Amino acid sequence: MSRKDVERAAARSPGTDRVGRVGLVGAGVVVAVEALWLILGLPAGALVSDLGALTVAGWAAIACVAASRRHPTVRRFWLLLSATMALSLAGRALWTSQRLLGESLPHTLPIGLLFAASLLTGTAALFCSVTAPRTRVGRARTLLDGVIVGLALIPIGWLLIFRNVSLADLDEPLRTAGLLYPMFDLMQLTILVAVVGPSRPVWRPMALLGASLTVRAVADTVYVSLVAAGTYQAGTPIDVLWPLSYLLIVAATRMPPPRDHGATEETGEAPLPPWWRVVLPYLPVGGAIVATMLARDAGGHTPMPIFLAMMALLATLALRQGLAANENLRLVLQLRKLAYVDQLTGLPNRLAFIRRLRGALRGTNRVAVLLLDLDGFKQVNDRFGHTTGDTLLSGLSRRMRRAVGDDGLIARIGGDEFAVLVTDGRPLAPERLAERLLRALQPSPGEELVGVHPSASIGIAEYGPQHISHTDLLRDADIAMYAAKAAGKSAYRRCTQGLRESAVSRAELIADLRRAVDEEQLHLEFQPIVDLATGAVRSAEALVRWRHPRLGVLSPARFLPLAEETGLILPIDRWVIHEACRAAATWQERVPSATVAVNIAASHLRRPDLIATVTEATAGAGLAPRALTLELTESALIEGSDAVLDRLGQLRELGIRIAIDDFGTGYSSLSYLHRIPATELKIDRSFVARIPEDTRAYATVEMVTRLAGAFDLGVVAEGVETERQHEAVAAIGCAQGQGYRYGRPASLAELRTVLVDCDPPGVSGVAESGLTLT
């Protein structure tokens, strides 16, 4: 049974609940009777007030014990409060007995010890509450805040109450100590406010306990004032305040148990205190200084009690400031750690790595940097969530830390990017360290799930004359890392002059690509898609080309990967969709059933504005939605989220056709065919190229064709270049074909001629340029 279950069972226990109800009602009746008795001035008022205080204090002690049984999570808090009430009961009983024996104000040593002990247990109870500081420094700081307030009130109390009291009247130490009770009350009240201040919402028993301390502080202050003036009489209405303070504690025991404190439980950190909580202990200090100055006698001498109190106050303030300085130092160290340490992996972060790198470049002849990027880590986050990604990062970072060991400094400098610094003191060659890292990242048994354990690409750059600063060295490592990715990932490359020149050319090409759309350097070519049964051109795929002003016409393979990396693929895709729709609208005047196909990047598929782009393009061109086919790669669809699938469903509802391009190259297509609202499959050219001589390729194409028929999908065989390939896909039953056998990509004018002139009888040769179907 959990602690919460035990607490609920205890709260429902009839015994403890009955004790609580009887205690609260009985104590309330006693306080009400005593208040009425003393207000009316009935006889034996002193005895009635003593008996009332004894009765309510006893009930408070019993009620606190019952509360400790009902609420095990705060058992110590209630037991200490019970001890406080028991000590108050004992002190009050001794006080009453000695007063009945003839002592008007029995400030004796046993009574003083009992009340001092109750002060200690009550303060300890405050530090056991649910919102109390959990560290020794925090508890010491809070205690010192209370002592500061208490000591600061001594000069103020002297000025307001005891200034006209002769020192001869305070010659009894115990009697003098009894006059300090208000100071102790306010000290405890300060501690309570300090404990409760940061808590939102306040635990209700603490609010009632604060009210109890306030009532007791008022009672003690009035009592001390009357005693100092020599006018105190037992059995007056002021005496009802002490049992009233005990009654509030009885009421506190009836409050529900504390709830979980969200900020501390969820983040592990206490909430920040409000500003008034920070300045609270220092507010009375100014009043104490003013009171000390005003309390001087005619000769300019400060009364000894005030002098001693101020010395104690200064000592306490010094200790408090020492704690504050120590805590500030600890916070500075913590902030430094936060500034230079990655919180997820515990490795140095980018700032710390740059700092060490700059220092190494100033003090050694050999510096090498290994830049490591995890391959496929984004797919882990997309498929399994960031929590799984963080767990994976933590595990991989531990492997890499062990692999590097004392041969370098490893840091996490980005989301899935790490860097290793190697200097003169580490003789291991950077290449050997890269090999060690790659071996450490290889999946161990049980980690073979595709996409769960990514590989890594590592770039190596060593400091040389071509580097002016640390940024140049990191740039070269980045260049080498991208070269490792291009080499097939899970590899390392050292930066060379050739890679630098290639990177410069790449950067220039990206800069030119940013201007290509605006300056109308892009154009479309169209490759026909042929009906294999009749030879008629039923559709065409729009393919983008780039007329580079310096490099000539560039194929999509040359610039589309760069466009996808930089995000430029989005404006390019939009331009292609609009231009393809306008082109299709012109040839539909002659061949109304003809359609156009457009490739869409995976990043565009994830954007919610794709639907708006497509509808604007078709409506603007006056093209029927059914005449547009969006070709999507199999990997983009498989990695798509539910939102992507919903978006595809909306496109299908509009009439847009969906084709799965390069079908057969993915790893979970069959499971996704039930969810993807596709209309056709395009068999990848790698299967078609081997189909005449490879029986397995032939069987694959045949299987895909039958599968498409089962799902009521059309089939297009891509990459048909020879007569044998054409005969094979036609024999299998593919409905349509695409490839050089039927026509190369050509201009819109040439495609329009083919669409007009095409004759159903059959399909034969391929012209060397343009589109010629015979």
CA gap 742, 764 in Å, rounded: 8
At 629 the pLDDT is: 95
CA gap 205, 70 in Å, rounded: 14
CA gap 124, 210 in Å, rounded: 15
pLDDT along the chain (774 residues), means of 10: 47 54 83 92 90 93 90 92 94 89 77 88 90 83 86 80 54 56 85 73 85 92 81 88 94 81 45 69 83 77 81 89 85 84 92 92 84 85 79 90 92 93 82 92 63 79 85 93 87 91 87 87 93 88 92 89 87 93 86 89 84 93 93 71 83 93 68 83 91 90 91 93 93 93 90 63 37 36
Contact 454/380 with Cβ under 8 angstroms?
A: yes
| Residue of 153, 372, 349, 122 whose CA lies nearest to 252 | 122
Contact 576/524 with Cβ under 8 angstroms?
A: yes
Question: Locate tokens 């609010």: which residue?
Answer: 207
| Residue of 542, 608, 538 whose CA lies nearest to 575 | 542
* Sheet containing 367-374, strands listed edge to edge, beginning at the edge strand earlier in sequence: 409-412, 417-423, 367-374, 456-462, 491-494
Q: What is the DSSP string of 693-734?
A: T-HHHHHHHHHHHHHHHHTT-EEEE----SHHHHHHHHHHT-
CA gap 285, 682 in Å, rounded: 84
| Residue of 463, 464, 465, 458 whose CA lies nearest to 479 | 458
Contact 327/140 with Cβ under 8 angstroms?
A: no
At 273 the pLDDT is: 67
425-431 own/partner pairs: CB under 8 Å, 24+ apart: 425/364, 430/368, 430/370, 430/460, 430/462, 430/494, 431/460, 431/492, 431/494
CA 284 to centroid of chain Cα atoms: 41
HEC letters along 361-390: HHHCCCEEEEEEEECCHHHHHHHHCHHHHH
Contact 681/659 with Cβ under 8 angstroms?
A: yes
CA max distance for the chain: 133
At 769 the pLDDT is: 33
At 652 the pLDDT is: 93
Taking only Cα atoms into account, the Rg of the chain, rounded to an integer number of angstroms, comes to 43
| Residue of 28, 22, 24 whose CA lies nearest to 244 | 28
